Amino acid sequence: MATTDPATAGSPPENWPEEVQYLTDLTYSPAVTPDMRNALGRPSTTAESLDKVTRTLVSAPNNGDRVGIRTIASPAHHPALGQRGLFAAADMPPSSFLCLYVGRVHTDAREDTDTRSHYDLSFHQLDKEEFGGGGGLSIDATNCGNESRMANDFYGIADKANAEFRDCLVQVRSDRRREGWKWERRVGIFVCPAGLAAAGARRLGAGKTDGGGAGLKAGEEVLVNYGREYWDSRNMTVHKTSASGT
Ligand SMILES: C[S@@+](CC[C@H](N)C(=O)[O-])C[C@H]1O[C@@H](n2cnc3c(N)ncnc32)[C@H](O)[C@@H]1O
């Protein structure tokens, strides 16, 4: 009997584009081997320091308590006018978890990568010894994803990003653990922390946030920093000034 992948079983939120499949968790390209997937759940010293996001928070129906998708109709000078954006559904304090970045995990092999994607986020570097030279895994949300794929870059919209991509751990089902759960790596969008520079800032491109976040107000657009590399590699000029950072 055919089984449904739980990652594809969720109902899309309001304003979801019908041509894109809504996901509640990652899906994987056939080139991502079982060993590569296992590496996402392996305890390590780096993984120990990551934020742990509980099962209830990552449960997709609950994303709507924190974020929503809107088509941007104003202001007239918004650079992504007419496109979608991600908005806070409630006041969210600094460092709060907003939603996971989900999509199709693929290797960085040329034949497994859509070089035209505008939704491809670098995810995890594989261990060089274990995987014969290493290589990376990325998450492409072009054809499938969740609310996170709607987050726009801050440039031309605000002075700085108010949210960031951050590595984290989530609980996933495991038949091998007595408790039935294990921790596995993901990337989430989090509200920028207050105070010091954000340590885990990362990319669609390679953007860093500068911390000092005041949190998000309900209705405010969630803005990340894609990084200059994102715009340069697409020959798009929004990031040509020093305001864009790296
Ligand atoms: C990850 S998508 C963001 C969601 C997108 N607005 C949508 O409706 O699907 C990235 C694309 O959004 C647009 N975008 C995001 N931030 C922008 C900005 N600050 N200025 C201009 N376009 C932006 C660009 O077309 C970019 O390639």
pLDDT in tens, 173-212: 888 888 888 899 999 999 999 864 444 445 555 455 555 6
User: Quick one: pLDDT at residue 61?
Assistant: 77
pLDDT tier for residue 245 given thresholds of 50, 70 and 90: very low
Q: What are phi and psi of 55, to 5 degrees?
A: -55, -45
Helices (H) and strands (E) in the chain, counts: 4, 14
**Strands of the chain, DSSP E:** 21-22, 27-28, 51-53, 67-71, 84-88, 97-100, 104-107, 120-125, 136-140, 144-145, 152-153, 163-173, 181-191, 223-224
73 Cα to the center of ligand 1, angstroms: 14
Task: Give the binding-site residues of ligand 1, using a 6 Å CB cut-off.
Answer: 79-80, 83-85, 118-119, 149-150, 152-153, 155-157, 238
Return the ligand 1 atom nearest residue 234 CA: 27
- 157 alpha carbon to ligand 1 midpoint, in Å? 11
Angle at 191 between CA 17 and CA 60, to 5 degrees: 45
In this structure, which residue's CA is closest to atom 27 in ligand 1? 118
C-alpha dihedral sign at 16, 110, 25, 122: negative
Between the two ends of the chain, the Cα-to-Cα distance in Å is 49
Ligand 1 centroid vs 153 CA: distance in angstroms?
7
Q: Which of 194-198, 228-232, 242-246 has the highest mean pLDDT?
A: 228-232
Which spans in the chain are helix H?
34-39, 45-48, 55-58, 228-233
Is it the case that residue 239 has pLDDT exceeding 60?
A: no
ipTM value of the model? 0.99
Q: In whole angstroms, what is the distance from residue 224 CA to residue 121 CA?
A: 12
Count of all residues that appear for the chain in the document = 246
Going from the Cα of 229 to the center of ligand 1, the distance in angstroms, rounded, reads 14
For the chain, helix, strand, coil in percent to 5 are 15, 25, 55
Q: Which of 15, 18, 19, 83 to mutate to test the pocket of ligand 1 (most atoms within 8 A of CB)?
A: 83
117-168 pLDDT, tens digit per residue, is 999 999 999 989 888 887 899 999 999 999 999 999 999 999 999 999 999 9
Checking if the pLDDT of 55 tops 90, the result is no
| Predicted pLDDT of residue 237 | 64
**Mean pLDDT estimate for the chain:** 87
How many angstroms separate the CA atoms of 137 and 107, rounded?
5
| Ligand 1 center–CA 134 separation, angstroms | 31
> Which residue, judged by its Cα, is nearest atom 13 of ligand 1?
80
Q: How confident is the model at residue 43 (pLDDT cuts 50, 70, 90)?
A: confident
Phi, psi of 7 (to 5 degrees): -65, -25
Nearest CA residue ID for atom 8, ligand 1:
84
